[in-house]
Amino acid sequence: MEASELWVGFVGAGRMAGGLVRGLLQAGKVPASNVLASAPSDKNLDAWRELGCRTTHCNLEVVHRSTLVFLATKPHILPGVLEEIRPAVGPHHIVVSLVAGVTIQTLQRLLPPWTKVLRIMPNLPCVVQAGAMVFSRGSNAGDEEAALLKSLLSSCGLCEEVPESYIDIHTGLSGSGVAYVYLFAEALAEGAVKMGMPGALASRIAAQTLLGAAKMLLETGEHPAKLRGDVCTPGGTTIYALHQLEKGALRATVMDAVEAATNRACDMAKD
């Protein structure tokens, strides 16, 4: 399907949905005039209008005017929204949920039985087109729908198809993991401030250090342990610093954090 032929709707117009649409527009994946977003008030819709997208307060209008429909509401609101739009969902629709904790099984139960359902889990850096996303497909979504979604979302960062059981793990690893990285960046910068560097400069250098390290991981394909070893020299500064991190159980603590966030995501799905 050509980008000019694809009509994309967003039921919900929060920050994550806005980040995705910016990526689609900047990559030329779909024209702004083909995007329609709904929200109860104008609070979030003004930003969409500034991008050239169409807006409405009617969820049903989004479904009627779109082929690809993204669900981007709060979890507790979604069942009511699905009840509202269910009569308008036809065999031609592709419905993609961004909603945390709502399984494909639940989506398929609340939508017509023929609905092509996919579930994605983005993370905050999608807002700057550097996200990490995973998606899974329901029983009626085939290779064509999966390929279309991956093609579109790759403009917002890394996008991989996975079994649905990995989505909660992705939440613990990447969705929540962004916050772990921010905490580490803050600690790096504060360490430099302690040693006498101005805070603003320390923050910029910490951010660039993380960006460069991540870029090397992606572009070289090397295991993190290999790259870490490359930085260390016998008796040098890095091995002394790593010794302190090991004494603080950094690796075990981060692993525990990923486990805790994953378990919480699983619990949310059961609520």
DSSP per-residue codes, 198-212: -HHHHHHHHHHHHHH
pLDDT (tens digit, 9 = 90+) per residue, 117-166? 999 999 989 888 899 999 999 999 999 999 999 999 998 999 999 999 99
* Contact status, residue 130 vs residue 23, Cβ threshold 8 Å: no
Binding-site residues for NADP(+):
72-75
Q: What letter would DSSP give residue 24?
A: H
CB environment 49-78: b (16+ within 10 A), e (fewer): eeeebbbbeebebbbebbbbbbbbbeeeeb
Pair 20, 143 in one domain: yes
Domain housing 209: 176-269
| Alpha-carbon span 180 to 129, nearest angstrom | 19
Pair 187, 144 in one domain: no
* Torsion angle, alpha carbons of 126, 129, 130, 136, to 10: 50
Which of 146, 165, 184 is the C-terminal boundary of a domain?
Answer: 165
Structural domain tally of the chain? 2
Which of 123, 142, 165 is the C-terminal boundary of a domain?
Answer: 165
Which of 165, 197, 230 is the C-terminal boundary of a domain?
Answer: 165
Binding-site residues for NADPH:
59
Pair 20, 59 in one domain: yes
pLDDT (tens digit, 9 = 90+) per residue, 37-61? 999 988 889 999 999 999 999 999 9
For helices 199-220 and 224-231, give the axis angle rounded to 10 degrees.
130
CATH number, domain at 203? Answer: 1.10.3730.10
Q: Is residue 171 part of a domain?
A: no
Which two structure tokens, joined as six digits, stand for 255? 């692993």
Burial class of residue 193, CB neighbours in 10 A (0-12, 13-18, 19+): middle
Pair 112, 51 in one domain: yes
Pair 74, 203 in one domain: no
Nearest CA-CA partner of 93 in 136, 134, 140: 140
**Phi, psi at 56, each rounded to 5°:** -155, 165
Pair 156, 200 in one domain: no
Q: Mind listing the pLDDT tens digit of every residue in the chain (271 residues)?
A: 555 578 999 999 988 899 899 888 988 889 999 999 999 988 889 999 999 999 999 999 999 999 999 999 998 899 999 999 999 999 999 999 999 889 999 999 999 999 999 999 999 898 888 999 999 999 999 999 999 999 999 989 999 999 999 999 999 999 999 999 999 999 999 999 999 999 999 999 999 999 999 999 999 999 999 999 999 999 999 999 999 999 999 999 999 999 999 999 888 877 6
The beta-strand segments (E) located in the chain are: 8-11, 35-38, 54-56, 68-71, 94-97, 116-121, 131-137, 157-161
Pair 148, 192 in one domain: no
Pair 27, 111 in one domain: yes
> CA-based angle 167:173:178, to the nearest 5?
120
Pair 133, 203 in one domain: no
Binding-site residues:
59, 72-75
